[in-house]
Each structure stands twice: as C-alpha cells, then as structure tokens.
Structure 1
Amino acid sequence: MTGASYPVVEVLRTRHTGYLLFTSLLGRLPGAMAALALVQLVRSTSGDFGFAGLITAVYVVAGAVGQPLLGRLIDRLGQIAVLAVSGILSFLAFTGMALTLEPLPGPAVALAAAAGVFTPPLEPALRALWPRLVAPGPQLKAAFSLDAGAQEIIFILGPLLTVAGIAVFGPIGNLLFAGGLGLIGALAFVLNPAPRAASVERRSVATRSGVRSPILVPAIARVAVFTFGIGVPVGALTIVATASEAARSADGLAGWILAVNALGALIGATVVGIRPLGSTPARLLTACGLLLALGYLPLAATASPTWAYVIAAGVSGLMLPPTLGQVFERISQLSPAAALTEANGWVVSAMTLGVGAGTLAAGAVVGSAGTAAVTWVVLGASALTALLALIALRDHERRTASSLAANR
C-alpha cells in the first residue's frame, strides 16, 4: 500500500490544509506559553506565587469564556474580521499586562482577563473549515485526528519557547514574544483564501437562519459535558507527575512523564490518521471515553518501577486524540451550519475548564493528603471521565440528536 492511500496524507496534500494547520498552531502558542511565562514574570518581580496563580487562572478562565462568544461573532460576521481584531486586542492586552504587572498589579489582572477573552478562536475556526476542505468519511476523520494530535505539539513547544524567550528577551519581553506569536498566527491564518470564502458563505447562512446558541441543543450540551470529563484526567496529570517526582525523589521525572504522555498522544493521532476508526462518532464517543479513562488507571499504581510508570504515562495519552477527533466530528454533525464555530468554541471551553478543574482538584487533594493520595486522584479522575462518557450519550439522546441533525 502506498503512502498516498493513507487518509492523513491525502488531508495534508489537500490545498490550504497544511498552511491553515500550521498558522493555527502558531496562533495558539500563547495558550501553551502564558502560564509559565506569567509565573516566571511574577517570580522575577514580586515573587508572589499566590498572585501568579491568580493572574494565570484569570487568563485561563477568561479564555474559556471568550472562545464561544468570539465563535458566535465569527458565525455572524465571518472569520476575517473577528480573528484579526481579536488577535490585535489580545496582543495589546499582553503588552499592557507585561508592562504594568509590577507597578500596577490590579490593572494587570484586568489585562490578563482581556488577553484571555480576546484570544483568537483559531481552534474552533479551523474545525469549522475542515468539512469544507476535505472529503467526508475517512479524510474528515483523519483531519480531526490530525488536528487533535497537532495540539499536543503546542504543549511540547510552548514551555520550550518560553524558556528560550526568557533567555533571549527576559521575562517581560518573553510575554510580548508570546503575544506576538499569537498575533502573527492569527493574521497569517486569515490571509488564506479559505477563511475568506467561508466568511462570505457564513454571513449569508447566518443572516437567513438566526439560529439559537448551539449549547442550548441538548445533544451538543452533552458532548460538551463529555469533553469536560476528558479534560479532568489531563489536568490532574500535571499534579500526578509532580507528586510522583517528589515521592520518588527523582528530579526531572515530572517532565519525562508529561513529555512521554504527549508522545503517546502523538502516536495515537498518527495511528488513527493512518487508519481512521470505522464507525460513527455517535457510537464511538462513549467507547473512546471509557478507553481513555481506562488508559489512566495504570498511573494509580504508584509503587511500580519508574520506567514502568513512565511507560504508563505514554499509554494514558494514546486515546486522547482519537477521542477528541470523535468529539470534533460529532459536533460538525450536530451543529447547525450557521453556528458551527460557536459550537466548537463551547467544546474548546469545556476541555479547558475540565483541565483546570482536574488540576485544581488534584492539587487540593495532594496538598492536603500528601503524595500518597496520587492513587485516589487517578482513580477519581478516571471514574469521573467514565461516568460522563456513559451519561453524555444515552440511547434516547442519540435518537434525539439524530432527529435534530436530520431536521436542521
């Protein structure tokens, strides 16, 4: 079998796809850089880690709020104006935050909120374009899996670029560097003909339909809840890795655990890119969610040898891109065409909130009970993911979702 027969290869050979994927990833880099960049900047000024946690949390939560709101604007006004303006506003907020953080911490927090709210919704924008760019079936499945796997590259490169940015530009300049990458990515993305063509068509569709917010559609809301459940063990893993490093007195182990987890996710994305899953997302979502929850369980065996624990971290990452790929494809099936970007924005926000909740809860448990609580953190996170996978897509809701999709 030749390489050209692989769906993922066909996706990358399709006009515009490689460019849009690259520029979208470039524009999303601030999301992977900001947390470490803000902590390092606060550390170089006041040194108040409590304030560092506050301003980082404000940025993350504001971003979760902004994605569906900006997605709704895209569905009404088109991608070009919204992505360009939000990219500029977010960069200006990053700039103001960097310059005011030490002398004016209050305004800096407000600017962190602005930087998050105006984060260009490149992730939902690209996912709204995939059904226009590639053929339905295996190619579309491969495109969504490729997108999910490429997201892992951001979280590998983000911390590395932050370290390099601090070394070259200093803590303040690094925050400007992060914001600048986001602006460049957003502007480069909208220069492509595909977003412009989609913008013209989207405005026409939105004007005719006047649809309500997609999160009010029960089937879409259930997918968003399911996606929140996916994010919980992903967020908890940061605490699990750090606690495992401390318990084993193995400096650098947390980094290896997180890196190998990301490598596992890339492997999972590659496999389903080459061989897309054959069934429909409505049937696969729950199964993928349960397998993802199951994949994290070996991390509960804290007494296992270090090498085995690192391998378990890789196994836990395998199902993330396939599961997210099913989420993206299912949203594209359920959402009205005039609200597709907003629908994807809600899914992005749900994942972000799930990651944040997992990190917060795991940190609270380990902080109060010590590193021995890692086992219970993993079991609890996996159980919640499995529970939401079972609840989110009950049979009668599947029938309702199919009816909604057929009648839109």
Structure 2
Amino acid sequence: MTRSSSYPVVDVLRTRHTGYLLFTSLLGRLPGAMAALAIVQLVRSTNGDFGFAGLITAVYVVAGAVGQPLLGRLIDRFGQVAILAVSGILSFLAFTGMALMLDPLPGVAVVLAAAAGVFTPPLEPALRALWPRLVTPGPQLKAAFSLDAGAQEIIFILGPLLTVVGIAVFGPVGNLLCAGGLGLVGALAFILNPAPRAASARRRSHVTAHLGIRSPILIPAVARVAVFTFGIGVPVGALTIVATASEAARSTDGLAGWLLAVNALGALVGATVVGIRPLGSTPARLLTLCGMLLAIGYLPLSATALPTWAFVVAAGISGLMLPPTLGQVFERISQLSPAAALTEANGWIVSAMTLGIGAGTLVAGVVVGAAGTSVVTWIVLGASALTALVSLVALPSKSVIAPQSAASRSAVG
C-alpha cells in the first residue's frame, strides 16, 4: 500500500505497475502518431503522387478505427497477452510489407496498409481497462484517466519529430519499418508486466461469461458517449487544416507546427491541472459541460485578425479542455460497460475519436480547398457548434446516471 499524498496523480504514479504500463503503452502507440507522415513521405520519395498518399493514409486510419473494437472484443474474450502479442507481430509485418511493396506493387501496399491499421495493437483500450484494477475509485481513478489522456499528447508531439529524425537516419523505407518496430516493442514490453498477464488469466477463467455479453456499443448510454467522443474529435481534426491555412494566409513559415505544438502543450497543462485537482462531480453530469467548454475553447481561433502571438496563445487555450473531457469519457465508459466487455467498449471510443478527427480534417480540407484560406473563421465556428450540439447527446437519462455497482460488474466479469 502506497502512502497517500495530497495530489491524486502522484498517488497514481506511485502505484505499482502504473508508470511502466503507461510508458510502454505510449511507446506502442507511437506508430499512430508517426505513420501518417511516414507514409506520405515514403510515397513522395517514390512516385510523389499526393492523391495516392492521401488514399493509402486514409486506408490505414480507417482500418485502425475498425480494428480497435474488434481486437478489444477478442481481448475481452481471450485476454490481453495473446491478442496484443499476435496483433503487434502482424501489424509490424504489414508495415514491413507496405514499406517494401509501395514502389513495385502499390496495390498490394494499400492492402498491407489496411492490415497494419486493423492489427494495430489496442494498447489504448487495454490500458484503460486496467486502470480500474490498478488504482482506487474516486480521485485516483479520475487522475489516472486524465494522466492517460494528457500523456497521449506527448505522442503527437514526439511522433512527427521522430518521423523527421527517422527519415534523416534510416531513409523513408527504414523510417516506416522503425515506426512499426516501435509498436511491436511497446506491445511486447506491455504484456511482460504482471498486470496484463493477471488480467488475461482471470479473463480466460471467465470466457463462458463473456460469450453471453452483447457488444457494449449496443448499450444506448455507451453509444451516446461514443457519439459525444466523435463530436469532440471534429475540432481536433479541423485544427490541422486551420493551422495550415493560417500559415498560408499569414505567410509565416512554420506557424502551423507552432500552433499544433502549443495546442498539445495546452492539453498537457489541462491534464496536469485535473491530475492535481480532479473534477469533483460525476462524469455523467460533467460530460456535457466539458464538451461545451471544449467547444468554447476553440472559438478564439475564429478571430483570424489576431496578432500572430495572440493566435498562437489561442491555439494553446483550445487544447486545455481536451484531456479533462477525455478523462470524463474514459471514466464514464468504465462505469457503463460490463467489466467483461470493457476493452471493446474503450476500443469503440478510440474509433469514435479517430473518425471524428478524420471527419474534421476531411471536411475542413475540402472547404479550404474550395473557398480558400478566408473561410478559417467559419470552419472554427462550424466545428465548435457541432461539438456543442453533440455534447447535448451526453446528457444522461435518470436511468443511467448512477454508475454500476461492484456487484453488478463482477457478475458479468
């Protein structure tokens, strides 16, 4: 038993296994932040077709969104160790094949990109299924989910940087192999920890219980949280286009990178604040409020006439509410989903966020491509309005406000 401190996030990091699992999970998730840029750069080094680069990257992203809940369901049935090991190996092999086949056989490379996405090890939902086992409910669990969401921002800071370094050191092909290798190493290191192995042993003893459980996405309250998560992903995805368009409009080289980096820094600040002082109410009551605040946080970016330094500050403000909001999402899912289907439930949430980000990027890109950089204001306003509207979906009915009791969760676990 670790001695309690006045800061829940410190208690989480002091808890046995948590630091190791968080680090190895983040290591294994790095391909998700590296692959898009790595694939585009590899295509440019071969045939240079941006259209094909967009196609193969989209195939990889969408396949990943499909694979996470499917692999999560397999984890809930067979345990984390086997599924994470097998998926890590298959994803690495697919990355390798894609890198080697892209030039001579681009059609095969597209298929392998889909395989690399589908078999992406579901480390994100796997870790979130372990948090309720590792830390005590209440402030510590809230802090753990917020820490997880904030640490994810580190991936999106390091991912592009590692891609640049990887291309310089290993070349475009070697860089993509490196990205796949990091995913495999992270997955294998994760399952070496006793916690995933203990969860897998327990899961194998409850296989028959899992067979009678329907997919958690069919639970209306879980589906509403997934829709909510899609909604908060839209402005996150649109920000990439907003940053790029703002750089072009202001003729300021490198501005897009600074905007995205400061946005991630703002998210880290938000995660740190709620890690030290977790939000006091229940996630059922906080989801809509957090979603509304996140939408409001993006509004300063609609003021395109701001001085450049103020626009950069606005990018930081827009990131503040993302980890607190995602923390509420993860905690709510842990309450709503049956214990025996918790990994799959988290997989659906990961997919919803991925699709929301993809939709935001796609729509914003199409609008800017058709109307020019002058529409940035309307893109920000539209994305924020959609997030605020979808946040209303998370308002709970009286029948789902109370979290599941420990007895009801253990009965299905």
Q: Which range, TM-score by smaller chain?
A: over 0.9
Please give the alpha-carbon distance, in whole angstroms, between the structure 2 residues aligned to 1:85 and 1:34. 20
The amino acid across from 2:38 in the alignment is: A
Task: Give the C-alpha shift of residue 204 in structure 1.
Answer: 2.7
Give the structure 2 partner of residue 235 of structure 1: 237
Determine whether 1:287 maps to 2:289: yes
Give the structure 2 partner of residue 64 of structure 1: 65
The amino acid across from 2:27 in the alignment is: L
Please give the alpha-carbon distance, in whole angstroms, between the structure 2 residues aligned to 1:338 and 1:405. 13
Task: Give the C-alpha shift of residue 203 in structure 1.
Answer: 2.6
Q: CA RMSD in A?
A: 1.3
Please give the alpha-carbon distance, in whole angstroms, between the structure 2 residues aligned to 1:208 and 1:33. 38
Give the structure 2 partner of residue 384 of structure 1: 386
Please give the alpha-carbon distance, in whole angstroms, between the structure 1 residues aligned to 2:347 and 2:399. 22
Task: Give the C-alpha shift of residue 383 in structure 1.
Answer: 0.4
Please give the alpha-carbon distance, in whole angstroms, between the structure 2 residues aligned to 1:3 and 1:157. 32
Aligned residue for 1:405, secondary structure, equals: coil
Aligned residues: 404
Task: Answer with 93-102 or 197-206: which moved more.
Answer: 197-206
Determine whether 1:245 maps to 2:244: no
1:259-298 residue pairs with structure 2 within 5 A? 259-298=261-300
Give the structure 2 partner of residue 191 of structure 1: 192
Task: Give the C-alpha shift of residue 401 in structure 1.
Answer: 2.2
Conservation of the 8 A alpha-carbon contact between 1:265 and 1:320 = yes
Please give the alpha-carbon distance, in whole angstroms, between the structure 1 residues aligned to 2:66 and 2:131. 24
Aligned residue for 1:304, secondary structure, equals: coil
Alpha-carbon displacement from aligned partner over 1:205-245 (angstroms, at most 9, x marks no partner): 34224210000000000000000001000000000000000
**Percent of pairs with identical residues:** 85
Please give the alpha-carbon distance, in whole angstroms, between the structure 2 residues aligned to 1:381 and 1:204. 46
Give the structure 2 partner of residue 349 of structure 1: 351
Conservation of the 8 A alpha-carbon contact between 1:205 and 1:337 = no
CA 1:270 to 1:404, structure 2 compared with 1: closer, same or farther past 3 Å?
closer
Give the structure 2 partner of residue 372 of structure 1: 374
Alpha-carbon displacement from aligned partner over 1:277-302 (angstroms, at most 9, x marks no partner): 01000000000000000000000000
Please give the alpha-carbon distance, in whole angstroms, between the structure 1 residues aligned to 2:394 and 2:56. 33
1:31-42 residue pairs with structure 2 within 5 A? 31-42=32-43
Give the structure 2 partner of residue 203 of structure 1: 204
Aligned residue for 1:5, secondary structure, equals: coil
Determine whether 1:83 maps to 2:84: yes
Give the structure 2 partner of residue 46 of structure 1: 47
Conservation of the 8 A alpha-carbon contact between 1:231 and 1:358 = yes
Conservation of the 8 A alpha-carbon contact between 2:287 and 2:394 = no
Conservation of the 8 A alpha-carbon contact between 1:219 and 1:400 = no
Give the structure 2 partner of residue 332 of structure 1: 334
Aligned residue for 2:281, secondary structure, equals: coil
Task: Give the C-alpha shift of residue 201 in structure 1.
Answer: 1.5
Give the structure 2 partner of residue 136 of structure 1: 137
Give the structure 2 partner of residue 405 of structure 1: 404
Determine whether 1:219 maps to 2:218: no
Aligned residue for 2:206, secondary structure, equals: helix
Please give the alpha-carbon distance, in whole angstroms, between the structure 1 residues aligned to 2:392 and 2:97. 45
1:162-201 residue pairs with structure 2 within 5 A? 162-201=163-202
Aligned residue for 1:4, secondary structure, equals: coil
- Which consecutive residues of structure 1, in runs of 5 or more, have no partner in the other structure? none
Task: Answer with 318-327 or 5-14: which moved more.
Answer: 5-14
Give the structure 1 partner of residue 14 of structure 2: 13
Please give the alpha-carbon distance, in whole angstroms, between the structure 2 residues aligned to 1:252 and 1:300. 20
The amino acid across from 2:399 in the alignment is: T
CA 1:10 to 1:327, structure 2 compared with 1: closer, same or farther past 3 Å?
same
The amino acid across from 2:400 in the alignment is: A
Conservation of the 8 A alpha-carbon contact between 2:68 and 2:348 = yes
Determine whether 1:116 maps to 2:113: no
Give the structure 2 partner of residue 100 of structure 1: 101
Task: Give the C-alpha shift of residue 403 in structure 1.
Answer: 6.8
Give the structure 1 partner of residue 147 of structure 2: 146
TM-score, normalization: structure 1?
0.97
Please give the alpha-carbon distance, in whole angstroms, between the structure 1 residues aligned to 2:259 and 2:302. 14
Please give the alpha-carbon distance, in whole angstroms, between the structure 1 residues aligned to 2:117 and 2:338. 27
Give the structure 2 partner of residue 4 of structure 1: 5
Conservation of the 8 A alpha-carbon contact between 1:10 and 1:139 = yes
Conservation of the 8 A alpha-carbon contact between 2:227 and 2:393 = no
Please give the alpha-carbon distance, in whole angstroms, between the structure 1 residues aligned to 2:403 and 2:273. 32
- Which consecutive residues of structure 2, in runs of 5 or more, have no partner in the other structure? none
For residue 255 of structure 1, the aligned residue among 232, 246, 257 is 257
Conservation of the 8 A alpha-carbon contact between 1:61 and 1:116 = yes
Please give the alpha-carbon distance, in whole angstroms, between the structure 2 residues aligned to 1:253 and 1:400. 48
Please give the alpha-carbon distance, in whole angstroms, between the structure 1 residues aligned to 2:399 and 2:179. 43
The amino acid across from 2:110 in the alignment is: V
Aligned residue for 1:349, secondary structure, equals: helix
